[in-house]
Chain A
Amino acid sequence: MFEVIGERINTSRKAVQAAVADRDADYIIDDVKKQQDAGAHFIDVNAGARIGHEFEDMRWLINTIQPIATVPLCLDSPDPAVLEMAFQIVAKTPMINSISLEKERFDAMIPFLNGKDCKVIALCMDDSGMPSSSDDIVKRAVKLVEELNKINIKTENIYIDPLVQPISTDSKKGVMVLDAVRAIKAQFSDVHISGGLSNISYGLPQRKIINRTFVALMMAAGMDSAIIDPLDQKIMATIKTADMLLGNDNFCGRYLKGVRAGVIES
């Protein structure tokens, strides 16, 4: 089943930043409840935008969300100290967002992840920058899986983010990532493919139709998770429908449930 990581609790969003600054717990609780009701499987929590306040903001957010969370949290920070604190206070096995092959980040994250029971998002980014070809994405993904396996993180707990890039600047950026996802899944059938999708439509008008179409294509290639806004009803409907078409919805149960609930419309 496709797993949705709800992206809304992020202090780079203005309303969330204001709620965090004012310690407005009601706003945060209401937003998380809405994401869960809409079908989020994880709630991403990012407290990075108020520079100098990340540690305290993250602690407050988790303590605020924890009592009403029915799904695990996705702890989103580059700082192992923030992640360590957050890891200690979450109730369910969390997802960690994220490790990459950038030396500084990699060297900081490996000791943190070593010996922990968690899922982890692994970005195909290294010190040379964004990947420039399909092969480049695959090579980075292989390296990430190997390195994480070395510290006993099982392949089934790894969520590879192939780093979707704007098609507006290069018409081949869509097929580049689709080819890479197929190749990664051919090599590691247990690994998950996740990440943000909206970069694909950067610089073009009517972005949501691009994002929705692209998620269906990515799912056909092997993507089985994404970091998105679960309150975007149209993309959620596309995901549920594509998941059914790919054989992941027994007797079309979740699709029909979605239709009856009024969240899937043609």
Chain B
Amino acid sequence: MADFNAMTEALIACDEDKVVQLVNAALTENVPAFDILNKGLIAGMDIVGEKMESGDMFIPEVLMAAQAMGSCVKILKPLLKEGESASSGTVLIGTVKGDLHDIGKNLVAMMMESAGMTVHNIGVDIPPEEFVKRIQETNAQIVCLSALLTTTMPMMKKTIDAIKESGLRDKVKIMVGGAPVTQAFSDEIGADGFAPDAGSASKLAKSLLN
């Protein structure tokens, strides 16, 4: 019987060797890769996200946990059966045009990946029309817009407007984030949600997917 709890705990403890060892042990006991991924690892990263949100875990620890998760996913992915997807949804994320900040955005991308979503991280300084093009290419269900500057916040609205004009607005949920962004601003520009940190962003994306 696989010890999913032990995997979860090892992830929270940022102990990469231990979690890899537990995953390999479970595989030798013929535990399905899909179960290990969902019941052990993604469940663990959900707790990591919550602990980040509540201020009980910090960015370097979250990075270590995500790295441990990544090593396990590499082992598990080739073992998934046909029809079993490692992905619980598709996310497109980028920093809006005129803004070159990427640290926060990359943390959000990493947390969402660790939560089992397929994340297309398209970089910084992304013009509205590029977001539209990439939504079409990736069939993203969620679009995340990042801005760290008060001077580039208006570009978030322009990006949402471009998505509306392209006729794709009903096909995607739009999330916004970045230091100066607030829930009020998110409402004002017609986004579907705002999150103040990477842990809650990942949680919000999951709830928007359901």
Contact = CB atoms under 8 A, between A and B. Distances in A.
Contacts of B150: 12, 48-49, 51
B151 A48 contact: yes
A168 B104 CA distance: 11
Interface residues of A, number: 21
Contacts of A51: 150, 153-154
B100 A129 contact: yes
Contact of B58 (A12, A102, A127, A204): A204
Give the interface SS of chain A, mostly helix, strand, loop or mixed: loop
A125 B180 contact: no
A166 interface: yes
Contact of B103 (A12, A128, A169): A169
Contacts, number: 48
B59 A203 contact: yes
Interface in A188-202: 202
Interface residues of B, number: 19
Contacts of B100: 102, 125, 127-130
A155 interface: no
A210 to B, nearest CB: 12
Contacts of A78: 151
A171 B125 CA distance: 26
Contact of A205 (B55, B106, B124, B153): B55
Interface string A123-141: 0010111100000000000
A227 to B, nearest CB: 16
Contact of B180 (A12, A104, A171): A12
B159 to A, nearest CB: 16
Interface string A155-180: 00000000001101101000000000
Nearest to A167: B60
24 contacts: A12-B150, A12-B180, A48-B150, A48-B151, A51-B153, A102-B100, A127-B125, A129-B100, A129-B125, A130-B100, A166-B59, A166-B103, A168-B60, A168-B63, A169-B59, A169-B63, A169-B103, A169-B107, A202-B103, A203-B58, A203-B59, A204-B59, A204-B60, A205-B55
Interface of B: 55, 58-60, 63, 98, 100-103, 106-107, 124-125, 150-151, 153-154, 180
Interface of A: 12, 48-49, 51, 78, 102, 104, 125, 127-130, 165-166, 168-169, 171, 202-205
